[in-house]
Structure 1
């Protein structure tokens, strides 16, 4: 489910408070922009760790923000599909 911009920002802000102990509008914007650019939650985790967000919750935060942020490009969906298919093949 895609959320309104406002509720997404509020959610990200709350998460940053618990992950970092602070939240700033610029950081919230940055996180949302970053989440739109990355190709997977794992990719996002790497970026978050670079940013200095490294805790037990980083992965969960990445997964959740990735699923909440609206994505415009269908190229990314194609990539995800291929990644899933590759994962399925590995399981066999």
Structure 2
């Protein structure tokens, strides 16, 4: 994995989360995100540069926009419940 991913993650658990996310993107069907993830995982592409590029950044924005929209439409209780579920899932995943 490119050094930038380790630097961005900051600690062992977040590094694992970043790696899992990149592996999921690399196995996915979106060609642009697949290419980006494979490049970062292979150590050939800086994650920060990819996220800020017009090609990969736009693809990342398009992929995350629906989830961000759903979160924005949630009331405070729904957001808190989502945070609790997400934290529990991350704990299970990352140990």
More helix by share: 2
TM > 0.5: no
Q: Which one has more relative contact order, counting CA pairs under 8 Å at least 6 apart?
A: 1
Normalised to the residue count of structure 1, the TM-score between the two structures is 0.27
Normalised to the residue count of structure 2, the TM-score between the two structures is 0.27
